[in-house]
Amino acid sequence: MGRIVVHEFITLDGVIDNPAWTMGYAFDPKMGGAIAGIMQPSKALLMGRNTYELFAPTWSARTAEEDPGAPFMNDSPKYVVSSTLRETEWNNSTIIGAYNPETIRSLKDRTEGEIYVSGSGTLVRAMLADGLVDELHLFVFPLALGAGPRLFADGVKTKFTLAASEAYENGALHLVYRPVQ
């Protein structure tokens, strides 16, 4: 049975909107290694439509020489949650329809290994509310934006345990959380 592993760039005040604000911080090579460590054991990607539409043109044009993550992003099966997207152009992509927790559970059941999620805020909020996220990798940047989409929807209550942490030279932290069972 698969596990859903989520990777998010997040501000101190919980904003996970388009992370263009991370450009103000030097990219620490250790952070790249941590992200590669999340991707490496993963067997598939799961994403919402907005993330798919951002990732597809960017990643499909990248080679392994340009970015060591390109083979994973391009060759792995990709599952897109969307009620409006009708077709995909990025290889190995499958539209699984509107968000349905049973569809996600079925995907977990038939996937041997981890299912990687990056961004996809609306999808991640729904999966957190439905208890479908198995591991949460938060790259917390020392910045408060004051407004924007947050990681958790109002009213969602859940407990996590800290599984690992790492600090970077740029002031960011990598926090790994698992839900308390």
Q: CA of 15: how far to CAs of 18, 42, 92, 103, 154, in Å?
A: 9, 25, 30, 27, 13
pLDDT, tens digit, for every residue of 137-180? 999 999 999 999 999 888 888 899 999 999 999 999 999 999 99
Residue ranges of the chain with pLDDT lower than 50?
A: none
> Are the CB atoms for 38 and 118 separated by under 8 Å?
no
Q: Residue 1 has what pLDDT? A: 85
Cα separation, 141 vs 79, in Å, equals 28
Which residue, among 173, 107, 169, 164, has the nearest Cα to 135 in the 3D structure? 164
Helices (H), the chain: 29-39, 49-59, 70-75, 101-110, 121-129
Domain residue limits at 166: 3-179
Which residue, among 74, 106, 104, 72, has the nearest Cα to 88 in the 3D structure? 74
The angle subtended at Cα 165 by Cα 121 and Cα 28, nearest 5°, is: 80
Any idea what the CATH number is for the domain that residue 161 is in?
3.40.430.10
Q: Residue 19 has what pLDDT? A: 85
> Are the CB atoms for 151 and 10 separated by under 8 Å?
yes
What 8-state DSSP symbol labels residue 180? -
